[in-house]
Amino acid sequence: MGATISNCCQLEAEGISPYQNSYLNPGKARELSKRSNKVGKKKNVRFVDGKKSTAEQQSTCNASSNREEYSHLADASSPSKKCMDLERHNANASLRNSQSGLEPSFIKHVQDIKSIFVFDEKIGDGKFGTVFLAHPRNDLESNVAIKLIPQESFSHRIEKELLLLKNIDHNNVIRYISAYKDNEYYYIVTEHCEGGELFQKITDDGCIDELEACGIIHQVLKTVKFLHDKEICHRDIKPENILFKRKDHNKIKLIDFGLSKQLLKGEVMHKKLGTPYYLAPEILEERYEKEVDLWSIGVVTYVVLCGYPPFYGNDAKELFTNIYHVDYEFCEEDWSFISDEAKDFISRLLLKNPKERLTVDQALEHPWILSNFMQSENSIKQELNSNCSDVHQLRKKELDYTTEACSKSSECATLDSYEKSLAEMF
Binding site, annotated residues for ATP: 147
Note the pLDDT tens digit of each residue in 142-170.
Answer: 999 999 999 998 888 888 899 999 999 99
pLDDT of 291 higher than 50: yes
Across the range 201-223, mean pLDDT stands at: 94
Closest CA to 308 of 10, 9, 35: 35
Quick one: average pLDDT of 74-91?
A: 36
Q: What is the pLDDT at residue 372?
A: 79
pLDDT on residue 180: 96
Dihedral Cα 320, 220, 288, 93, nearest 10 deg: -130
Residue 15 predicted with pLDDT over 80: no
Contact criterion met (CB below 8 Å) for 71 and 284: no
Q: Is the pLDDT of residue 290 over 90?
A: yes
Distance CA 317, CA 195 (A): 35
* Percentage of the chain lying above the pLDDT 90 cut: 55
Locate the domains of the chain by residue range. 1-80+194-365, 88-191, 382-425
Report pLDDT for 48: 73
Residue 279's closest CA among 316, 334, 330? 316
pLDDT band for position 106 (50/70/90)? confident
Q: Is the pLDDT of residue 91 over 80?
A: no
Query: Which residue type sits at 303?
Result: V
Instruction: Say which DSSP state 197 is in.
Output: B
The reported pLDDT for the residue numbered 105 is 76
Q: What percent of the chain has pLDDT over 70?
A: 64
CB contact at 8 A, 198 and 212 = no
Give the CA angle between residues 422, 424, 417 to the nearest 5°.
Answer: 55
Asked which of 46-55, 331-340, 407-416 is least confident by mean pLDDT, the reply is 407-416
The closest of 259, 249, 261, 301 to 277, measured between CA atoms, is 301
Task: Kindly indicate the confidence band of residue 400, based on its pLDDT and cuts at 50, 70 and 90.
Answer: low
pLDDT tier, 385 (very low <50, low <70, confident <90, very high otherwise): low
Class of domain 88-191: alpha beta
The Cα–Cα gap between 294 and 311 comes to: 16
- Residue type at position 170: H
**Which residue, among 199, 192, 69, 66, has the nearest Cα to 141 in the 3D structure?**
192
Active-site positions?
236
Count CB-CB contacts under 10 A for residue 196. 16
Residues making up the annotated binding site are: 147
Residue type, 110: V
**pLDDT band of 103, cuts 50, 70, 90:** low
The yes or no reply on domain 1-80+194-365 and CATH 3.30.450.40 is no
**What's the pLDDT at 70?**
37
The closest of 426, 295, 270 to 358, measured between CA atoms, is 295
Give 353-365 pLDDT, tens digit per residue: 999 999 999 999 9
> In terms of Cα–Cα distance, which of 187, 177, 97, 116 is closest to 150?
187
CB 181, CB 129: distance < 8 Å: no
Average pLDDT, the chain: 76
Q: Quick one: pLDDT at residue 382?
A: 54
Q: What is the DSSP letter of 12?
A: H
Half-sphere exposure of 53 (CA within 13 A, CB side): 24
15 versus 106: the higher-pLDDT residue is: 106
> What is the pLDDT averaged over residues 341-363?
98
Instruction: Give the integer Cα–Cα distance in Å for 11 and 310.
Output: 20
Residue 63: pLDDT band with limits 50, 70, 90? very low
Q: Could you give the CA distance from residue 15 to residue 6 in angstroms, rounded to a whole number?
A: 15
Coil, strand, or helix at residue 416? Answer: helix
pLDDT at 190: 96
Question: What pLDDT does 396 receive?
Answer: 52
Residue-by-residue DSSP string for 326-378: T-EEE-HHHHTTS-HHHHHHHHHHS-SSGGGSPPHHHHHTSHHHHHHHHHHHH
Compute the residue count for the chain.
426
Residues paired with residue 109 on neighbouring β-strands, in sequence order? 181
pLDDT of residue 140: 85
| DSSP 3-state of 5 | strand
Would the pLDDT of 178 be above 70?
yes
Give every CB contact of residue 331 below 8 A, 6+ residues apart in sequence: 35, 41, 44, 306
